[in-house]
Amino acid sequence: MYLFVLGFSSVTFLLKGYFLGLAEGRTLRNMSVVSIVVGYLPVAGVALQFHSNHLLWLSL
């Protein structure tokens, strides 16, 4: 029973992501760019200045 639920839910999760990407592709792209500019680039810049691998991994 548990394997059936696990298999069925994983397929529905994949299909949800597929159809969400088809329907809201522009919004997903724009939010990805915003998250890179607001979240990744500032922390990556600080990590490069301090030569810190820990901060670089944190930025990801």
- From the list 20, 38, 19, 39, the residue with the least C-alpha distance to 28 is 20
* 55: three-class secondary structure by DSSP: helix
Segment 34-59 mean pLDDT: 87
Kindly tell me if the per-residue pLDDT of 60 is higher than 80: no
pLDDT tens digits, residue range 1-36?
Answer: 778 888 889 999 999 988 988 899 899 899 999 999
pTM: 0.61
> Where are the domains positioned within the chain?
25-60
Cα gap 24→12, rounded to integer Å:
18
What per-residue confidence (pLDDT) applies to 31?
A: 94
What per-residue confidence (pLDDT) applies to 1?
A: 75
Tokens of 59: 């930025």
What per-residue confidence (pLDDT) applies to 35?
A: 93
